[in-house]
């Protein structure tokens, strides 16, 4: 049985924090692959309309190039409307029989789990993996495997803000992604 971790998000833009989490979970849980799953419209936060889905997808391709254990799953990008994880996981489980899935969430989402759409059914179809962070409570009634990941305080919103203000994002974002952002003049760059 193939063991696959799924890391969902907007990846607007993808950064080293995403890659660090994916690599640590891959290694710690001895998974076969990590699938990065960009969403079209996350139900829990307002989508920033700064870049097109195709641009986020291309940046993600650039970010993971060179790692054979990383791939992209576009199922949520192809759907219209909010992307609910329970619906996505049902479709993925139906399509990829013989796979065991581990859904990676940050500490902020551990606290938010009781509010997830159809959470009682979702926990039956996927194993949640929580990434610990010192500033969050990790208490939950739901079954979660925890993985310690070195702390890197970086977020896509912080990167967008830095780029808009002309500040460097070197060592926060992979070089090919930075070059693409500048070439396409994304996030207020010129």
Of the two residues 54 and 112, the one the predictor is more confident about is 54
CA gap 74, 155 in Å, rounded: 22
Strands (E), the chain: 2-9, 33-38, 70-72, 99-106, 127-131, 144-147
How far are the Cα atoms of 54, 68, 82, 184 from residue 51, in angstroms, in the given order? 8, 27, 18, 10
pLDDT for 66-80, tens place per residue?
999 999 999 998 887
Average pLDDT over residues 179-184: 94
All structural domains of the chain, each given as residue ranges with its CATH number in brackets, are 2-153 (3.40.50.620)
Longest dimension (CA), the chain: 48
Q: What is the pLDDT of residue 26?
A: 98
Q: What is the pLDDT of residue 70?
A: 98
Q: What is the pLDDT of residue 190?
A: 74
Instruction: Copy the structure tokens of residue 125.
Output: 């179809």
DSSP state of 39: -
Contact 5, 163 (CB under 8 A): no
pTM passes above 0.75: yes
Q: What is the pLDDT of residue 31?
A: 98
Burial class of residue 121, CB neighbours in 10 A (0-12, 13-18, 19+): exposed
pLDDT exceeds cutoff 90 at 127: yes
- If you search the block for the tokens 């693409």, which residue do you land on? 180
Q: What is the pLDDT of residue 41?
A: 65
CA dihedral over 133, 186, 33, 27, signed as positive or negative: negative
CA gap 167, 1 in Å, rounded: 45
Using CA atoms of 9, 34, 109, 91 in order, give the dihedral in degrees to the nearest 10.
80
pLDDT for 1-58, tens place per residue?
999 999 999 999 999 999 999 999 999 999 999 999 998 766 555 555 578 999 999 9
Q: Lowest mean pLDDT of 98-102, 147-151, 177-181, name the range.
A: 147-151
Instruction: Report strand pairing: 127-131 vs 99-106.
Output: parallel
pLDDT for 79-98, tens place per residue?
877 878 889 999 999 999 99
How far are the Cα atoms of 43, 123, 128, 142 from residue 91, in angstroms, in the given order? 18, 15, 17, 22
């Amino acid at each position: 049985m193939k063991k696959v971790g799924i890391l969902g998000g907007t990846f607007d833009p993808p950064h080293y924090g995403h890659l660090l989490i994916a690599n640590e979970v891959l290694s710690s849980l001895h998974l076969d692959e990590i699938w990065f799953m960009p969403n079209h419209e996350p139900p829990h936060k307002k989508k920033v309309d700064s870049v097109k889905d195709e641009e986020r997808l291309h940046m993600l391709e650039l970010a993971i190039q060179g790692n054979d254990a990383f791939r992209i799953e576009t199922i949520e990008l192809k759907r219209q409307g909010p992307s609910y994880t329970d619906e996505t996981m049902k479709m993925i489980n139906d399509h990829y029989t013989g796979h065991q899935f581990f859904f990676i969430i940050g500490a902020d989402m551990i606290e938010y789990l009781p509010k997830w759409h159809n959470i009682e059914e979702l926990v039956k179809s996927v194993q949640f993996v929580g990434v610990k962070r010192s500033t969050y409570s990790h208490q939950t009634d739901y079954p979660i495997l925890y993985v310690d990941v070195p702390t890197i305080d970086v977020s896509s919103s912080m990167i967008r803000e830095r780029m808009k203000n002309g500040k460097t994002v070197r060592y926060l974002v992979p070089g090919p992604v930075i070059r693409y952002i500048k070439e396409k003049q994304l996030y207020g760059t010129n």
